[in-house]
Structure 1
């Protein structure tokens, strides 16, 4: 998901090959990091899970609205219509890039958890967000607050503000919460492995968002939907 990783002679330096969209996302997160974060510990992120879960599940109605053929996924044409209705002015090429980036299962359809990640990335990247914010407030109350919380959480984990979370940064974040506990290292590595989808040793915000939807149980909705379709 983050491309190919190569290391220089210095073990501190890691180079990640990015797509154009991923590069934009990293730069957006670097800019956002300059504003700081209200998150003080990993535990405070966990405590927000129930409220975030409720907010994200409320997106279901808008997802089903854009899933015109009701097949449980939004295809590229449906996504273009979705962007148009939300007054999100990206080019067809940019929309295709978003589609490829968020179609993590590569099944040519954006499922519900992928749709949430898509909206959050659009929210993060859109320069003129006035129209988008207005639409989101009407269609999905509290979603902006949820997105800000997710971005805040990533900024907390990204200690050096380079737009990525490394293993050492994850360990540092967990240790700040569970200082002195012998299991803190294992907890940190487990959480990191859950985020590092492409196993390149660095987590970008897109990978973090996908992991977060699983942490709060959004992927369970997808499993339920698939079971209903099989019945």
Structure 2
């Protein structure tokens, strides 16, 4: 994929996508056609406790697939997980997903990385015509949470190009905090937390990793311990 050009004419950084990222972004853009039920960023924040609770319910599922009990899922364990949950992805697709979500590049998938991967699977499966589309993993409450996350991203991506820019994040925050002097600072802090690769654009995967941090399910929160919360 080539560079991204904003519909509002604002300059945006060129984004290079892998084959998997392109597939995910295409699925996001198709989902964006439906619009979002979310009306403000504050309404997303209010959902944090319920989302965290939903995630943590599946910690036991994560531990079940952590066959050697080392606190992480490796590639072979993930393939066993997919087979047991009857998620019909090829080995190549599973390899690509594992690599994309192994944010620490240590060939070990921690709980927050596992949650992000499952959400990407949900998006891709919902976008497909597979017969099990509406019963992904047999986890209806987790699916409902994932749908909330997709809805939140659609709300933030004002121009529906599959990426959230700084200006879009500012717009989203300002819709809630119009007139507050701190709104710009809040927006920039949130955007920086999402923009993992520092290219000025946030894709759905980056948004998901930031979200696991916001709701508190990351394994390591030390680096941001001293920062003020919004």
> Per-residue displacement from partner, 1:139-167 (whole Å, max 9, x unpaired)?
x4511110000000000000000000000
Give, in whole Å, the separation in 2 of the partners of 1:11 and 1:136.
40
Q: Secondary structure at the match of 2:96?
A: helix
Q: Tell me the residue number matched to 2:146.
A: 147
Q: Tell me the residue number matched to 1:93.
A: 92
Q: Secondary structure at the match of 2:206?
A: helix
* Alpha-carbon distance, 1:15 to partner: 2.7
Give, in whole Å, the separation in 1 of the partners of 2:111 and 2:64.
12
Give the unaligned 5+ runs of structure 1.
225-231
RMSD of equivalent CA atoms: 2.1
Give, in whole Å, the separation in 2 of the partners of 1:12 and 1:163.
16
- When normalised by structure 2's length, the TM-score is 0.89
Q: Tell me the residue number matched to 1:229.
A: none
Mean Cα deviation higher: 121-130 or 151-160 = 121-130
Q: Tell me the residue number matched to 1:162.
A: 161
Q: Tell me the residue number matched to 2:38.
A: 39
Give the unaligned 5+ runs of structure 2.
222-230
Q: Residues 116-195 of structure 1: matches in 2 within 5 Å?
A: 116-126=115-125, 127-128=128-129, 130-131=131-132, 133-134=134-135, 136-137=137-138, 140-195=139-194
* Alpha-carbon distance, 1:7 to partner: 8.2
- When normalised by structure 1's length, the TM-score is 0.88
Give, in whole Å, the separation in 1 of the partners of 2:86 and 2:31.
23
* Alpha-carbon distance, 1:129 to partner: 5.1
Mean Cα deviation higher: 110-119 or 141-150 = 141-150
Give, in whole Å, the separation in 1 of the partners of 2:2 and 2:67.
36
Q: Secondary structure at the match of 2:14?
A: strand
Q: Residues 86 and 132 of structure 1 are in contact (CA less than 8 Å); yes or no, is this contact kept in structure 2? A: no
Report how many residues are paired. Answer: 217
Give, in whole Å, the separation in 2 of the partners of 1:7 and 1:128.
30
Give, in whole Å, the separation in 2 of the partners of 1:68 and 1:204.
31
